[in-house]
Structure 1
């Protein structure tokens, strides 16, 4: 995948450009276009170049924060299901692994209300991120954090070795003109320090509710027709509300108010397990995405909480009877919303 880039990031920039009256380059050829999981790396770079030509680095950072333009996409739903910055970062890092991103964001230090991050090349990838690529990723993370209602959010760009060029940006209650922001960012780009960030926010406070226009819309009824006991349906609705979350046995037990052992015993008496319920719920919401959207298998699998593409393919086929690709090929367009074909 070294010659390809994540389509989700490119979709964000292209849609944000259009929303701000800028002109994006023509979409890449092919039937999938920007609905695929990857686009040619050359196209991503052409989009970034178009932003820089029409607005500069400041405009790039501001456009990348417009995560609202991804509303309706599976990646948007998965990221905005996070409860705060640390979980958002965990979900972002899982997305990078899932789509085999050439670059990754690693956490180098953490404390309550603080995360130090580094955007760098994956092992085996020789080309480091271009400063503009790092800036776009940073913008998306900042935009998602703000959409989650994180308070007191600010970012410091640069490293301890570039003390004279470190840039501290308060993200809330401040408006920096794109041209001024470009002038502040350009030295960091020249030094190669754009991929080092420190995020700070107010810890131990409840985040504000995500605005309804940005809020992911879960479908919690997809397992209601199954002949399960009330406890299993309670768990399924919980999973369907945020399938991308890490639904461990301990987390599910905490949700029900039962001990881990009591929950497992109650389910096993009906021939069920936490794993079966979680995978069933995830498979059903994945089936809905496959039928009703053009989004790639990789993005759908990520948004539904599967660990990677083989895991998605294996578990979906086990519960539905077909692989995700064959399921979409067989049934997409065969019925309206809600007409899921599950061979269970």
Structure 2
């Protein structure tokens, strides 16, 4: 255990050890391969969505602008946790410095709050598109979309700062083993050498505001959306309207159920349950989201087919040119 002696002759931890998922040394190589595959697929899938939104002019709309930014957020989300897990299973290095731990905690929290706000923005976009289509283009201008994205990031940074500064200022004098696979607020508070009742209350209040408040806004938006859809006379129109919201609503339910279980429940819960829930929303969800959006979205499917067609045509053209060059060489 690495300690640093302070001016008042007390000691402070300068390094933590992340216990991680169940520690089975004989399974480390298998865990490493599984998490490496998950990381590769997550990055590839989200980069594919970003690339499609950027390349296909049919996807240059507010909805897909938000989806591209959401995919970028998911890439950052998984990059905050998985690389350290890979290092643990590759080299057995469980150690993480105090500053790196706090940085991971802050980054992970900011990304989680930003994701919550992004889902609110995306629900607002669907509300305007379905409930107020005549004003949609005017309200959701490029400037407005950029402002909503930047505002989500800025609000998340500000909201996350105060409670995490409070955690960073707590005294940690041992033990220094974090019963988790990343630096999260709950296991860190358990290691503090002072009363953390006030800190837990503040964290619960902030989590309730950012998570439950956002979820309430989304549910109100979708209440209006459903009422509007039910008034559409044609069955085909109702189906088309529902299809534009189904992917987003699926992601909303998965995200808010898992994050509520993790942050808005009593802190004295099962550590194994905490790890499973955290692994789901920190590692599994960023992998599932691209497939939820792409598999259920006809515009994304058509954009992907268009890219494959252009790539195939380019490959065919290259083969033809290669044959022509070879023939000219023979004749020469």
Q: TM-score, normalised by structure 1?
A: 0.29
Larger strand fraction of residues? 1
Higher RCO (C-alpha under 8 Å, 6+ residues apart):
2
Structure with greater proportional helix content: 2
Q: Which structure is larger by alpha-carbon Rg, 1 or 2?
A: 2
